[in-house]
Structure 1
């Protein structure tokens, strides 16, 4: 009995830890958009996932910008020691930190995009992982080639989806009209049959009434 209780006491925390592990959010590295529209906001997505064993780390994030037609790469944004900070550039005052608390998502947003914002953006993520025996340096870079347009271009997938939607609506409308015509004809036939039945019934009743005359006693 004591052994069973001891096994149960170890099993419950183990199951709890397993459930917590399964319920932890999963980090998924998704590519950033590469087309922005003038006058709108654009988020440059940079997601650098950490492994489960990477429990504690010091993270430094640097965003660089390089013009599309040559020119030097310059630092435009930096996140260090828990503080995001804009650097002096043509985008100063229009960059907003959009990263997550766990620093796996270290994205930034450009406010009121201009045509001059086209170019190559580099997201540099440096982590110093603190293990019991040693520290380990991990560095990751993500490059985004951004193109700014005056108007949003129609994506082929969205255009195709819109065409399919209109085709589906036309089909449903045609099917509804066919159903209405079919039901109307069915109701009309039912009314005709009912009227014929009533007429036949009245004719038979009238005939029976004439045949059932009462004899007169002399």
Structure 2
């Protein structure tokens, strides 16, 4: 009796250990969290995920929208083997599938942005048996013009500095080239002048000798 109880306790402990070692069935969602786009343009709402389970036909993706000024949550897009666009509402004929589940990408494209598209877009992925996990969120701000970030200005400054360095190098190379060319022309002129000068001196010597002979 005691031996059976010990065996059961051992099996129970082993089961608990295996459960602890087994990965939690949860899908991890990755989004840009905050996005800014110009009114009237198109924008890609990027959403990627990771899952312990291999991607299969059981995968489902649900996109919803919460307006910034409040109101009920609205359906945006659904994917299960094939994409399902909204048949009515603000997103009708304005949203298309732009993902690739095999690459863990479930992004969508939103066309012709409007100011009332401001709000939070949620991306939920279920990949059985991984069905739990947090929902990804993207806070979209539709603006008249895009405000440039500090990173943009830093990149612009670095790019300008690099361009200036290239221009300086080109100027230095050109200056050296023209200097060498000018020196070569001067040297050539000197070489041409010397034979003429020597010939003139020889002629003067000959005249001088001739005059001495006459005297």
- TM-score interval, smaller chain: 0.5 to 0.7
Instruction: Provide, for residues 96-128 of structure 1, a one-character-per-residue CA deviation record: whole Å limited to 9, x for no partner.
Output: 122225373221211101000011111111122
Which of 128, 131, 134 is matched with 1:138 structurally? 131
Maintained 8 Å contact 1:124/1:139: no
Q: Partner of 1:191 in structure 2?
A: 185
Residues 108/79 of structure 1: CA separation in 2 closer, same or farther (3 Å cut): same
User: What is the deviation of 1:81?
Assistant: 5.4
User: What is the deviation of 1:67?
Assistant: 1.4
Q: Partner of 1:46 in structure 2?
A: 47
What is the CA–CA distance in structure 2 between the aligned matches of 1:117 and 1:187, rounded to whole Å?
65
Which of 167, 177, 180 is matched with 1:173 structurally? 167
What is the CA–CA distance in structure 2 between the aligned matches of 1:89 and 1:72, rounded to whole Å?
13
Normalising by the residue count of structure 2, what TM-score does the alignment of the two structures yield?
0.67
Q: Partner of 1:72 in structure 2?
A: 72
Structure 1, unmatched stretches of 5+, are 1-28, 129-135
User: What is the deviation of 1:75?
Assistant: 2.6
List aligned pairs for 1:36-185, cutoff 5 A. Answer: 36-51=37-52, 54=54, 56-80=56-80, 82-86=82-86, 88-100=88-100, 102=102, 104-128=104-128, 136-140=129-133, 141-185=135-179
Structure 2, unmatched stretches of 5+, are 1-28
Maintained 8 Å contact 1:76/1:87: no
Residues 168/54 of structure 1: CA separation in 2 closer, same or farther (3 Å cut): closer
Maintained 8 Å contact 2:98/2:109: yes
Residues 161/200 of structure 1: CA separation in 2 closer, same or farther (3 Å cut): same
Residues 80/71 of structure 1: CA separation in 2 closer, same or farther (3 Å cut): same
Which of 188, 203, 210 is matched with 2:197 structurally? 203
The structure that has the greater radius of gyration is 2
SS at match of 1:69: coil
* Higher relative contact order, structure no. (Cα contacts within 8 Å, ≥ 6 residues apart): 2
User: What is the deviation of 1:47?
Assistant: 1.2
What is the CA–CA distance in structure 2 between the aligned matches of 1:77 and 1:190, rounded to whole Å?
74
